[in-house]
Amino acid sequence: MAGATETFGSLLLIIGLASRLTAIPITVVMAVAYLTADLEAVTGIFSDPDKFVKADPFPFLISALIVLVFGPGKFSIDALIKWGLDASRRDLPERSLPFGAPVTPTEAKAQH
pLDDT at 102: 53
Specify whether 89 is located in the same domain as 57.
no
Same domain, 98 and 67: no
Q: What is the pLDDT of residue 88?
A: 81
pLDDT band with cut points at 50, 70 and 90 for residue 12: very high
- Give the pTM: 0.72
Burial class (CB in 10 A: 0-12, 13-18, 19+), 25: middle
Asked if residue 92 and residue 60 are part of one domain, the reply reads no
Same-domain pairing of 26 and 42: yes
pLDDT on residue 4: 94
Same domain, 96 and 65: no
pLDDT recorded at residue 68: 95
The number of C-alpha atoms within 13 Å of 76 and in the hemisphere containing its C-beta is 19
Query: What is residue 93's predicted lDDT score, i.e. its pLDDT?
Result: 59
SS (H, E, C) 27-85: HHHHHHHHHHHCHHHHHCCCCCHHHHHCCCCHHHHHHHHHHHHHCCCCCCHHHHHHHHH
Co-location of 55 and 20 in the same domain: yes
Contact status, residue 26 vs residue 10, Cβ threshold 8 Å:
yes
Residues in the chain: 112
Mean pLDDT, the chain, whole residue set = 85
Are residues 28 and 61 located together in one domain of the fold? Answer: yes
Cα angle 109-110-112, degrees, rounded to a multiple of 5: 65
Domain, as residue range, for 59 = 1-72
For 56-95, write each residue's pLDDT tens digit.
899 999 999 999 999 998 999 999 999 988 888 877 655 5
Whether pLDDT at 34 is above 60 = yes
Residues 43 and 54 in one domain: yes
Looking at the fold, whether 80 and 48 belong to one and the same domain comes out as no
**What's the structural domain count of the chain?**
2
* Domain identity same for 82 and 67: no
Shared-domain flag, residues 61 and 86:
no
